[in-house]
Chains A and B, each alone.
Chain A
Amino acid sequence: MLVTIRFLTEPFTPGYMQRAFAIALILSALAGVVGVVVQLRQLSFMTDALTHTVFPGVAIAFVAGQSLFIGALVAGTASAVLLTIAARSTRIDHDAFMALVLASLFSIGVIVVSRNRTYSADLTALLFGRVLAVNSREILETAIVAVVVLGILALMYKELLLRSFDEVGAEAMGYSLLRIDLVVNILVALVVVAAVRAVGTALVVALLITPAATARLVCVRLGRLVVASVLVAAIAAWLGLVISYDTSVHHGVRLAAGATIVVVLTAIFAAVATLTAVRSRRVRRRTLAEVTS
């Protein structure tokens, strides 16, 4: 018992682990909630697209010697606006346009990087994330993003609920879908940008999609869905950090922290999916037995 407790708490004695845990918790709360929005608004593909479109912004900011965070922010917001407008237009094939924007922006990033003859590892930090290397200022920035995003979501909760549930109904009531979508998509872009630094573009998608998908397997009420999604994200962040610390410090198996969090997330999803599948099969069999008897 004591050993277990030490296994779960000891990793958080070094300062870098505390900071990693702090940013992982903030991101869990943020991604857990926004992930539910992404689920209900069916924005998974756009979220994925945003992680790619952030890249050229980062690349250009790097070459221009500007802050990578600002570069990611500008690129993320701009592409969120572009994708939203395209989605509302009836003249454009939505999926094709999205794929086009994604591919072309990503290529711009690659072109910029390959024209750049300096060592660009700073840039790769944004692709893979350095959750163990975050400093207090970055934690503060992420916390501010979290407060802003969650605050705006709370303020437009009603409208967002209506727009997600009944698109035509919302429009018929006189709501501008474009305006609502713009705000939501920019919020998602903000989360992507904030999370990119800690877990990297490659893993942001997992953090935004897996907790909400897991929660959806067990919860039907919106309130519980949000709580469950945040809990799943937070537990995975904590366990991921603990496992990565323990295996790499005590057992010599090198596990990168960010990637371990994602593996844990996926494992939780798989476990919950299996359990619910087994349970529903059992229920079905019982109902069948009742019907036949």
Chain B
Amino acid sequence: MRRMWPALLTAALVVAGCGNDDGSSSRRSNPQAMMQVVATTTVVADFARVIGGVRVGVYGVLKPNVDPHDYEPAPADLDAMKRAKVIVKNGVGLERWLDDTISSSGTKAAIIDTSAGITVRTSSGNEKADGDPHIWHDPRNAKVMVSTIAQAFTAADPDGAATYTANLAAYTIRLDTLDTDIENQVATLTNRKLITNHDAFGYFVDRYGLEFIGSVIPSFDTSAELSAAELRRLVDAIKSQGVKAVFSESSLPGKTAKAIAREAKVAVVEGDDALYGDGLGKAGSDADTYLTMMRHNARTIVTNLT
């Protein structure tokens, strides 16, 4: 018995060492120990990583810069869903394309709708629609979303409650800073007339007091097309109201936006400067997290409207 003590002690040290080391190596070396989480969009995946920290392994279904309309499930997606303890969704009907896939995977995960408790903008015209799903473009909504995620993680993994609460508190402060920063930036603008590629920025416009003139794609849905009359109305609006620029979006083709901008003789913002309306940018871009993405959008809008 006495001789076993050193062995037990060593074991205890190793376990403790692992605990301390979590942040760097165990993410790869021991994924089984982490709580598995599937996040549908790049934005909620980022939130889940921030809140979960080292305790959570996040599998993002949508990759950066991919239009959900081009999504076809791969077995890895269903495999991840099956093993997940929590599935984090954006909500407001944004993931309707994924519902069949989730139920087909046979997952027993808790499915979390991050839009719970958020006042959803009604979409222009159509009563049947769920409303505008781009809720994250208002940092105050993002605060609600991350808090929902922290609650769900705590419920699924009570041992991590302290971690989740601490991460939530730290991130909430950063979200507040982000919100004030953007507010101050936009406050410098005299011309606040915004034209974007599709109706993704309603929450941003509402939050920061911009004036939404119109969008190139007349719907939340990226596969819709503009009619000739609407196109002319948009061009006329740009000319008569003194709009300075047309903003293109990273995940969408900017051809029509370019045509409109040329017709109305204003600048078109595209390429690396394009706005991120539907999700985050690729790793290494200046919009690969929620915070950098929001700052990119604000900076782009302010720079081009000044």
**Chain A interface residues (CB < 8 Å from chain B):** 11, 14-17, 19, 110, 113-122, 124-125, 128-130, 132-135, 200, 241, 244-245, 248-249, 252, 254-259
Question: Which B residues, 41 to 80, have Cβ-Cβ distances below 8 Å to chain A?
Answer: 63, 68-79
User: Please, how many angstroms separate the alpha-carbon atoms of A110 and B97 in the complex?
Assistant: 19
What count of chain B residues pass the 8 Å CB interface test?
Answer: 41
**Which A-B residue pairs are the 9 nearest by beta carbons?**
A121-B97, A248-B76, A256-B72, A133-B100, A114-B225, A245-B75, A248-B74, A114-B224, A133-B101
Stretch in B143-151, B215-223, B235-243 with 4+ CB within 8 Å of A: B215-223
> Does the CB pair B221–A120 fall under 8 Å?
yes
Tell me, rounded to whole Å, the shortest Cβ–Cβ distance linking A24 to chain B. Answer: 13
Given the interface pairs A122-B96, A132-B73, A254-B76, the reply to whether A117 lies near B220 with Cβ below 8 Å is yes
Please, which residues of chain B bring their CB within 8 A of the CB of A125? 97, 100
Bound-state CA distance A16–B106 (Å) is 7
B167: CB under 8 A from chain A? no
Chain B residues within an 8 Å CB radius of A256: 72-74
B126 interface hit (Cβ, 8 Å): yes
- In the complex, whether B202 has a CB less than 8 A from a CB of chain A is no
The digit string for B90-102, where 1 denotes a CB below 8 A from any CB of A, is 0001101100110
A267 to chain B, nearest CB (A): 19
A202 and B235 alpha carbons, distance in the complex (Å): 35
User: Residue B103 at the A interface, CB < 8 A?
Assistant: yes
- Nearest-neighbor residue (CB-CB) of B94 within chain A: A119
Interface residues of B (CB under 8 A from A): 63, 68-79, 82, 93-94, 96-97, 100-101, 103-106, 123-126, 128-130, 133, 218-221, 223-227
Given A117-B126, A118-B221, are A252 and B72 neighbors across the interface (CB < 8 Å)? no
Q: Given contacts A16-B106, A117-B221, A119-B133, are A257 and B97 in contact (CB under 8 A)? A: no
**Is A118's CB under 8 angstroms from B73's CB?**
no
- Given the contacts A122-B97, A125-B97, A249 and B221 also touching, CB distance less than 8 Å: no
Q: Are B223 and A124 in contact (CB under 8 A)?
A: yes
Q: Which residue of B lies closest to A256 (CB)?
A: B72
Is B104 touching A132 in the complex (CB atoms < 8 A)?
Answer: yes
How far apart are the CA atoms of A124 and B129 in the complex, in Å? Answer: 17
Contacts of A15 in B (CB 8 A): 104, 106
A132→B72 CA distance, assembly (Å):
9
Chain A contacts for B220, CB-based, 8 A: 117-119
Q: What is the bound-complex CA distance between A115 and B229, given in angstroms? A: 13
Q: What chain A residues lie within 8 Å of B94 (beta carbons)?
A: 119
CA separation between A98 and B97, bound complex, in Å?
32
- Across the interface, which residues of A come within 8 angstroms of B123, CB to CB? 117-118
Q: Find the residue from A14, A16, A259 having the highest chain B CB count within 10 A.
A: A16
**Distance (whole angstroms) from the CB of A133 to the closest CB of chain B:** 4
Cα distance A124–B66 when bound, in Å? 14
Q: Which B residue sits closest to A251, measured CB to CB?
A: B76
**Can you list 19 contacts pairing A with B, beta carbon distance less than 8 Å?**
A15-B106, A16-B78, A16-B104, A19-B104, A114-B219, A116-B219, A116-B221, A116-B224, A118-B93, A118-B126, A119-B130, A120-B223, A130-B100, A132-B75, A133-B73, A133-B101, A244-B75, A256-B74, A257-B75
Chain B residues with CB under 8 Å of A257's CB are 72-75
Q: Is the CB of A244 within 8 A of B78?
A: no
User: Does the CB pair A16–B105 fall under 8 Å?
Assistant: yes
Closest residue of A by beta carbon distance from B75: A245
In angstroms, Cα B293 to Cα A220, docked, is 61
Closest-by-CB residue of A relative to B72 is A256
Residues of B within 8 Å of A118, CB to CB, are 93, 123, 126, 128-130, 219-221
Question: When chains A and B are docked, how far (Å) is the Cα of A221 from the Cα of B221?
Answer: 51
Closest to B230 in A: A114
Of B101, B125, B218, B224, the most chain A CB neighbours within 10 A belong to: B224
Interface centre among B71, B101, B104 (most CB of A within 10 A): B104
